[in-house]
């Protein structure tokens, strides 16, 4: 497999799990691992648990923020074992894998996995387009980090045998960084228009962000939306620097 599919571990606390994740990835032909704020890494236990996948650990990037891990990605998925309040699109592993393989033909793709204790926070998920949930036993849904990675990477490997075919896109999907700028611009304009009561403003912005994430806009569409926001700013007499 030669798809730019990135596994991103956020706040991993046990180095042994990092090594086990590297082994799971190599089993399924993936090689790009990014660690966001790992509590204890590098560590000998990670190397031991990686077995013959120590080369993945040697190449792994360590970054302080999720934005640095996914900034160039056109599709970002976040894993979650619990329901979320926002209007998220939730995928099961086979559907997520099909989308990942198709999207990776145009831009890098990232799948985020949270720390062992609390998973991904709502803030961590802000760059994600959709959630992925493994339909486990409802009486005991908690999966080990490496188990969760193994399930998703296995589905991705299967999906490469029947890739989703799409018509050539007019423009490449917007990157996570471009989407972050769009969200910030939108929040600024809404505040300038008077939607600035803290609770209602945050809820409104969150719901519009979810709408944008489900739409998966391309670069040109993001440029159009930001142009519209800039025109609104000028018309309303607001600062036009979005």
Q: Which domains occur in the chain, in start order?
A: 5-162 (3.40.1280.10), 176-235 (1.10.8)
pLDDT at residue 1, rounded to an integer: 46
Residue 188 has pLDDT above 50, yes or no: yes
Q: Which residues pair with 6 in a beta bridge?
A: 32, 110
Question: What does pTM read for this prediction?
Answer: 0.80
Upper half-sphere CA count for residue 222 (Cβ side, 13 Å): 24
d(C-alpha 108, C-alpha 176), whole Å: 10
Residue scoring higher pLDDT (209 or 48) = 48
The per-residue pLDDT for range 61-110, each reduced to its tens digit, is 999 999 999 999 999 999 988 767 668 899 999 999 999 999 999 999 99
120-133 average pLDDT score: 93
The per-residue pLDDT for range 133-154, each reduced to its tens digit, is 999 888 888 889 999 999 999 9
């Amino acid at each position: 497999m030669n798809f730019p599919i990135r596994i991103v571990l956020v706040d991993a606390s046990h180095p042994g799990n990092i090594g086990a994740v590297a082994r799971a990835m190599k089993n399924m032909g993936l090689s790009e691992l990014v660690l966001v704020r790992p509590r204890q890494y590098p560590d000998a236990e990670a190397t031991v648990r990686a077995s013959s996948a120590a080369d993945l650990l040697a190449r792994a990037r360590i970054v302080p923020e999720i934005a640095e891990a996914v900034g160039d990605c056109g599709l970002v998925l976040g894993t979650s074992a619990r329901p979320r309040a926002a209007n998220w699109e939730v995928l099961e592993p086979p559907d997520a894998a099909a989308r990942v393989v198709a999207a990776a033909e145009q831009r890098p793709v990232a799948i985020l996995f949270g720390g062992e204790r609390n998973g991904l926070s709502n803030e961590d998920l802000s760059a994600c387009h959709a959630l992925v949930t493994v339909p486990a036993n409802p009486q005991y849904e908690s999966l080990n980090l490496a188990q969760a990675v193994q399930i998703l990477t296995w589905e991705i490997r299967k999906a490469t045998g029947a890739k989703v075919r799409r018509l050539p896109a007019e423009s490449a999907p917007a990157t996570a960084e471009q989407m972050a700028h769009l969200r910030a611009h939108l929040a600024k304009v809404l505040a300038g228009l008077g939607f600035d009561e803290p609770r209602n403003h945050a809820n409104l912005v969150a719901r519009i962000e979810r709408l944008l994430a489900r739409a998966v806009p391309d670069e040109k569409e993001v440029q159009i939306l930001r142009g519209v926001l800039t025109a609104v700013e000028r018309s309303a007499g607001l600062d036009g620097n979005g």
